Chains A and B, each alone.
Chain A
Amino acid sequence: MLEPVCPELQKFYDIFDSVDQSKVSEFKEFLEANAVNFNLFKDGTFIERSFPFDMIPRIIPKAEFDALEAGIIQRVKALNAFLNDIYNDQKIVNDGVVPREYVDSAKAFLPEFMGVNPPKGVRTHISGIDLVKDAVSGKWVILEDNLRVPSGVSYPLTIRRAFRHTYPEFFESMKISKIKHYGDELKAAMDYVNTGGLNVVLTPGRYNSAYYEHSYLAKITGATLASGDDLVVENDEVFLCSYDGERQRIGAIYRRLDDDFLDPEEFEPDSLIGVKGITRAYRAGNVAIMNSIGNGVADDKGIYYFVPQMVKYYLDEEPILSNAPTYLPYYEKDRKYVLENIDKLVIKDVAEAGGYGVLFGNRLTPEKRAEIIEMILAEPRRWIAQEVIEFYDLPCMMEEGIVPRKADLRAYVIHGEKVTVSMGGLTRYAMEEGNYLVNSSQGGGFKDTWVVEL
């Protein structure tokens, strides 16, 4: 179902119809020349491709976004508190709010980092919170928290620049919230936790799907873009080795690689993209790693279920935003419901991400259905089930004209001295009609998101 046209979107259409239509190709050429890429690996082959984008932005009225912003900030504060607790006293577990088994069996929980505290107590420096707007209730619902290496923020920032270049008319006539401060805010967050030295964006390298973004973020923050072999750890301090043989101390690292590959000394020994000894420097408090090591325990799909309880537990507040209705087969009552209603539910493997491991019950063959039931019974902790949310479609300009496509919203949150939400975000849409999977790694496209005040 298409989201009803709000007055702000109508204004967009009115302006769009009144300007020279040849600007559409000018706009596309701008993005093409700037190689706004999200690369893919398919069947072992590196495919460099432009990230498909749509001209029609998602428009969110400012008053609606303000409520979202408050809910997102609340959620990120609770998640940060959860991480600090879970790597220290584990009060929330001891008080029975989150079952111990859920923490201990979370794949990304790293007990070897118990008692290791990051600079200034910040762990969730950069978060991406995925939401959809429920077409039945009209409310925003949280689908997922991304607290490890959320990607995508560079795309709306780049497309906004393209819009401003090509269509100043929108910005002259509409009160569109600015997002260009993102680089300054990210830099401020890096400076806030910096232990003395350079800020670095650590990239796995040129062939990473989001390399464009790594380069972009280094540029807008003034940080140095480095790969693992540019850094060295000596006496538990991290240094950048520059081409002239000089070394400079590093105080904060915005790493764009997962924990598993971060340090061959601590994690995956065969990692060629990490920095040997970096976790020693982190443990010694000599470098801030953004986001912190071990954050994955908090964005585990099973732990997601408990986030509303975390808000109450740590902040003593009622959650402003809701989760999608979720069932944990771990609990007998939920398991019974899931097994009886599997055809109506979405089943998710908690160990997967990026749209992988998501199964729609109504599309399962009898054999696959039986197989999934067997797996749920064997490993209930590994699965969650959610009601299918009929989230809104958004209008997308495709070759066949303006067509409806399912779309979500990733809101970007920076946690430095304070917690701020970027006044926009990445709207991702599915390329095919009726497809609920909008993830970039599933071939989805993106739109800019405009927060507009009438």
Chain B
Amino acid sequence: MLKELVNSYDYVIDRDFEDGRKLYTKLGVEIEYKNALDFLKQGVYGTYGGSVEQIISWARENAIETRHLLDERGFATLNKIHNQLVAGRDRAVSPTNLEEIIDNCSLILGIFSTELDRTRAYQLIRFGQQIERFDLILRLYGEIEMVTADIEVINSIARQLNRNYRPINVTTSDISKFLLFLNSVVDRVIHKDTCASAVSQSQS
């Protein structure tokens, strides 16, 4: 998404002022901006759900919760991005800032790919990456065919994460149904409240 933001910024400068608005409309967000730099500012610090600052903040929260499983350099890099975003809230945003964040995110993923437990933690990261990638592609381009070839990748990772996982197939051409379906894949792998269900079973 950061790359899309930088690409769109380039259009907003002098090619298509409405490009930024069109990009966010696909994500279900209405934004207003006065010029290209203001567009970047809205993208990073806008008050809608899903601004770059908010996404990084959520990522940091997740990283704090799972810190004991993460590589320290990966955590520190993410935390640094967050701290820089918070510190820069009152300043103008430049595409260079975003490119630095993109580089740092790539660094984090690189660190995770080499340092995390390959049977579980890293597979969970890969699983999340795939789901997010599908989600973004579908929202931006609206073509299920663009992801169907990779469904088997999701099935393969999911099987490693949960031996009881049942593989999925694409049976719909409706994007919104497919997005809902994609979220249900997560529930097939990660059982929420497993302890709560254990307690109710033992009490019944």
Q: Residues of A at under 8 Å CB distance from B?
A: 30, 32-35, 206, 211-212, 215-216, 218-219, 225, 229-232, 234, 239, 241-245, 247, 276
Q: Which of B162, B190, B199 contacts A232 (CB 8 A)?
A: B199
**A interface footprint on B45-82 (CB within 8 Å = 1, 0 otherwise):** 00000000000000001001101110010011101100
Q: How far is the CB of B103 from chain A (nearest CB, A)?
A: 16
Number of A-B contacts (CB under 8 A): 64
- Asked if A34 meets B191 with Cβ closer than 8 Å, knowing A219-B68, A232-B198, the reply is no
- Asked if A229 meets B195 with Cβ closer than 8 Å, knowing A33-B79, A33-B80, A245-B164, the reply is yes
Q: Which chain A residues border B196 with CB–CB below 8 Å?
A: 229
Q: Which chain A residues border B157 with CB–CB below 8 Å?
A: none
- Asked if A244 meets B195 with Cβ closer than 8 Å, knowing A34-B72, A219-B67, the reply is no
Q: Is B83 an interface residue (CB 8 A)?
A: yes
Give the CA-CA distance A212 to B67 in the complex, in Å.
9
Q: How far is the CB of B204 from chain A (nearest CB, A)?
A: 13
Give the CA-CA distance A211 to B199 in the complex, in Å.
26
Q: Which chain B residues border A30 with CB–CB below 8 Å?
A: 76
Q: Which of B64, B161, B195 contacts A206 (CB 8 A)?
A: B64
- Asked if A242 meets B79 with Cβ closer than 8 Å, knowing A234-B202, A276-B199, the reply is no
B162 touches A244 (CB 8 A): yes
A244 touches B189 (CB 8 A): yes
Give the CA-CA distance A175 to B77 in the complex, in Å.
32
Give the CA-CA distance A206 to B68 in the complex, in Å.
12
B199 touches A244 (CB 8 A): no
Chain A to chain B contacts (Cβ below 8 Å), 5 pairs: A32-B83, A218-B68, A219-B67, A232-B199, A245-B194
B194 touches A33 (CB 8 A): no
Q: Which chain B residues border A215 with CB–CB below 8 Å?
A: 64, 67-68
Give the CA-CA distance A230 to B79 in the complex, in Å.
26
A243 touches B79 (CB 8 A): no
Q: Which chain A residues border B69 with CB–CB below 8 Å?
A: 219
A241 touches B194 (CB 8 A): yes
Give the CA-CA distance A219 to B67 in the complex, in Å.
8
Give the CA-CA distance A231 to B196 in the complex, in Å.
9
B191 touches A245 (CB 8 A): yes
Interface of A is mostly: mixed
Q: Is B163 an interface residue (CB 8 A)?
A: yes
Q: Which of A33, A212, A247 contacts B198 (CB 8 A)?
A: A247
Chain B: which residue is nearest A247 at the CB level?
Answer: B198
Chain B: which residue is nearest A227 at the CB level?
Answer: B65
Give the CA-CA distance A218 to B69 in the complex, in Å.
9
B191 touches A243 (CB 8 A): yes
Chain A: which residue is nearest B194 at the CB level?
Answer: A241
Give the CA-CA distance A276 to B198 in the complex, in Å.
12
Q: Which of A35, A206, A231, A276 contacts B65 (CB 8 A)?
A: A206
Chain A: which residue is nearest B202 at the CB level?
Answer: A234
- Asked if A216 meets B68 with Cβ closer than 8 Å, knowing A241-B198, A244-B189, A244-B191, the reply is yes
Q: How far is the CB of B83 from chain A (nearest CB, A)?
A: 7
Give the CA-CA distance A211 to B198 in the complex, in Å.
27
A33 touches B83 (CB 8 A): yes
B64 touches A244 (CB 8 A): no
Q: Which chain A residues border B189 with CB–CB below 8 Å?
A: 243-244
Q: Which chain B residues border A218 with CB–CB below 8 Å?
A: 68
Q: Which chain A residues border B79 with CB–CB below 8 Å?
A: 33-35
B195 touches A232 (CB 8 A): yes
Chain A to chain B: the 8 pairs with minimum beta-carbon distance, closest first: A241-B194, A33-B76, A218-B68, A244-B162, A241-B195, A219-B68, A215-B67, A232-B195
* Extra 14 A-B pairs, beta carbons < 8 Å, given A35-B79, A219-B68: A32-B83, A34-B75, A34-B79, A212-B67, A215-B64, A215-B68, A218-B68, A219-B69, A229-B195, A232-B195, A239-B198, A241-B195, A241-B198, A244-B189
A234 touches B64 (CB 8 A): no
Q: How far is the CB of A287 from chain B (nearest CB, A)?
A: 16
Q: Which chain A residues border B163 with CB–CB below 8 Å?
A: 244
A234 touches B80 (CB 8 A): no
Q: Which chain B residues border A211 with CB–CB below 8 Å?
A: 64
Q: Which chain B residues border A232 with CB–CB below 8 Å?
A: 195, 198-199, 202
Chain A: which residue is nearest B162 at the CB level?
Answer: A244
Q: How far is the CB of B180 from chain A (nearest CB, A)?
A: 21
Give the CA-CA distance A231 to B183 in the complex, in Å.
26
Give the CA-CA distance A146 to B59 in the complex, in Å.
36
A225 touches B191 (CB 8 A): no
Give the CA-CA distance A130 to B75 in the complex, in Å.
32
> Which chain B residues in 181-204 approach chain A with CB under 8 Å?
189-191, 193-196, 198-199, 202
Give the CA-CA distance A206 to B161 in the complex, in Å.
25
Q: Which of A34, A212, A231, A242 contacts B76 (CB 8 A)?
A: A34
Q: Which of B67, B75, B190, B198 contacts A234 (CB 8 A)?
A: B198
